[in-house]
Chains A and B, each alone.
Chain A
Amino acid sequence: MIDREQVVHVAALARLALSEAEIDRMQADLQQILQAFEALNALDVSDVSPTAQVIPLATVERLDETEAPLSRDDVMRNAPRVERDQIRVPAVLPEE
């Protein structure tokens, strides 16, 4: 069961402002998603080795070589606001 408080907590972590109605809706949706995953608990996995990935592959790596970056104009294309060649966002407190 996911309670209302957990929904509010997760929303706060994601910096989402949810209305009361949205919190109700998300609680129901998340509950359904969690239930779907809980179905997996019914499986007998005693002879399956644990994994972090369902793709039966090891990753590939690349050589340490460089490629040309985007132009600054392209980088800034989605920026809400540009100032001093940087992306301007509302002031945030220093963190991390």
Chain B
Amino acid sequence: MTVEAGYRVVIGLETHVQLNTASKMFCRTSAAYASAPPNTLVCPVCLGMPGVLPVINAAAVDFTIMTGLALHSEIPPHAKFDRKNYAYPDLMKWYQISQYDLPLCVGGWLEIAANGETRRIRITRVHLEEDTAKLTHVVGDDGQPASLIDVNRSGVPLMEIVTEPDITNAEEAMAYGLKLRNILRWLGVSTANMQDGALRIDANVSVWPIGAEVGNTKVEVKNMNSFRALGQALDYEIERQIGLLERGERLEQETRGWDESDARTVSQRTKEYAHDYRYFPEPDLPPLEITRERVQRLTKRMPELPDAVRQRLVEELGVASADADELIEDRDLAAYTLDVIERHAGPAAEVVTWVLQDVRRLLNARELKSADIPISAASMAELLALRAKGDLSSTMAGTVLEEMFATRKPLEEIVAARGRQISDSDALAEIAREVMAANPQAVADYHAGKDRAVQFLMGQVMRRTRGQANPGKVTELLRAELSRDRGA
């Protein structure tokens, strides 16, 4: 990114997160809309029929409070819901139930690392609302432009996390988004997948010349459905605004959408009064009392969060910090690894390397999720113990792991069938002598100074032992036998 010197850039982020509750925010309809055919998850409440009454989903409130706790927010004892009014066909009621001035969580911060610096991004608030129906703009059956409405998504719990304008460039915005996504996944409150729309990050970007009065023209940038798009859109928008200022033009307060194919932001030309939402307290929902007991209960329910796990891995368990960083990016893999570490007598770093390399390679090859490792943590620890004892060579352990993934047979059965590593010197020496007797040419080559012949003989020993010979021992014994042979 090249930003001309002399300008100040200030970015605030608004992140919408679909909560993964079973039912919707204000009705008992299933919230699993992603896999449902159009308009099959709809009830009178989420269809906005007259006379229906919303009832708050306690799990959605819990998830929002837990998110607030993870972001160091204050959880006030009183909260309420409000009506946000706007007339657009994605809202079945023509208003959205949201939270205006008494959100569930207030304040807080998220620490990010970007551009080699650690910074705290202040959180303004976290509130709860409902998602809208999905509109598709099409050419209809009669050849006329039309909009089609699928109501399934209407009423899915949507949490909104708003930051203070503390972000100054695209890298920081991406670092914030990635870290937030990871926390949401560790909390288990959302899939937080951007491509599915479960995580949507909008940005308010303000640019002004240093020394001039603080800029108050906010441009809202939307429609970024990947982290890459978020970074590109912000870089583009900052450059665009600086370009306008350089040419002496005025910035316009507007909403712009990121156009992925053209790699630019485009004005969405919303009417100037589009933000006149006429909020008022939701008359169908009395205020929410958030008891201190509830906050305490949720505090106890909080899992260990990625930053804490990272610190424990590095400081207490001696894991390399790059490996720890990699591991905490994947909650399920990290949880599994910690479980194996607890059962493993050897160093934790050994387990981490094994998981990040061998286990993850197999997961990728088989397109499995980290949550679906087909081997219990106990078996994995046993496999590592066999390797540590020398009963299995590293190569053999890898082969056994692969077979466990492929066949899902128990460890003992596979090891019994394949045999353990042969480290017994007498047995291996005998095999070495047999191999030498059967390959006089290789022995002669060795004596003629071709050291590579040892590799050939080694291969023959491995073949005879079906790969079970301890490779270090075999090399050592072969060299001893060969020099004895020369002496003879």
Contact = CB atoms under 8 A, between A and B. Distances in A.
Given A66-B23, A75-B151, A95 B137 contact: no
Given A89-B149, A92-B88, A69 B42 contact: yes
Nearest to B139: A91
A53 interface: yes
Nearest to A73: B39
B77 to A, nearest CB: 10
B80 interface: yes
A65 B29 contact: no
Contacts of A72: 37-40, 42
Interface in B339-391: none
Interface in B105-139: 132, 135-137
B43 interface: yes
Contact of A69 (B29, B149, B257): B29
Contacts of B60: 64
Contacts of A65: 22-23, 28
A9 B276 CA distance: 10
B421 interface: no
Contacts of B281: 52-53
Interface residues of A, number: 39
B154 to A, nearest CB: 11
Interface in B25-77: 28-30, 37-44, 47, 55-61
B272 to A, nearest CB: 10
**Which of B86, B136, B146, B283 neighbours the largest number of chain A CB atoms within 10 Å of its CB?**
B146
A25 interface: no
Interface in A61-96: 61-67, 69-70, 72, 75-76, 83-96
Contact of A85 (B39, B61, B289): B39
Dominant secondary structure of chain A at its interface with chain B? loop
A57 interface: yes
B88 A95 contact: yes
Interface centre among A55, A72, A86, A91 (most CB of B within 10 A): A86
Contact of B47 (A57, A75, A94): A75
B148 A84 contact: yes
B147 A90 contact: yes
Contacts of B140: 83, 88
B56 A62 contact: yes
A56 B468 CA distance: 78
Contacts of B23: 64-67
B143 interface: no
A94 B276 contact: no
A48 interface: no
Nearest to B63: A64
Contacts of A12: 271, 273
B89 interface: yes
B287 A64 contact: no
Nearest to A87: B149
A58 B278 CA distance: 24
Contacts of A69: 29-30, 40-43
A13 interface: yes
B273 A64 contact: no
Interface of B: 21-23, 28-30, 37-44, 47, 55-61, 80, 85-90, 94, 102, 132, 135-137, 140-141, 144-151, 257, 268-271, 273-274, 276, 278, 281, 283, 285-289
16 contacts: A13-B85, A13-B86, A52-B281, A53-B80, A53-B281, A59-B287, A62-B56, A63-B59, A64-B57, A64-B59, A67-B29, A67-B43, A70-B42, A72-B42, A86-B149, A89-B147
Ordered nearest first, which 4 A-B pairs have the shortest CB separation?
Answer: A64-B59, A91-B145, A67-B28, A52-B281
Interface of A: 9, 12-15, 51-53, 55, 57-67, 69-70, 72, 75-76, 83-96
Given A65-B28, A87-B151, A89-B146, 8 more contacts: A60-B55, A64-B22, A67-B28, A89-B89, A90-B146, A94-B137, A94-B257, A94-B268
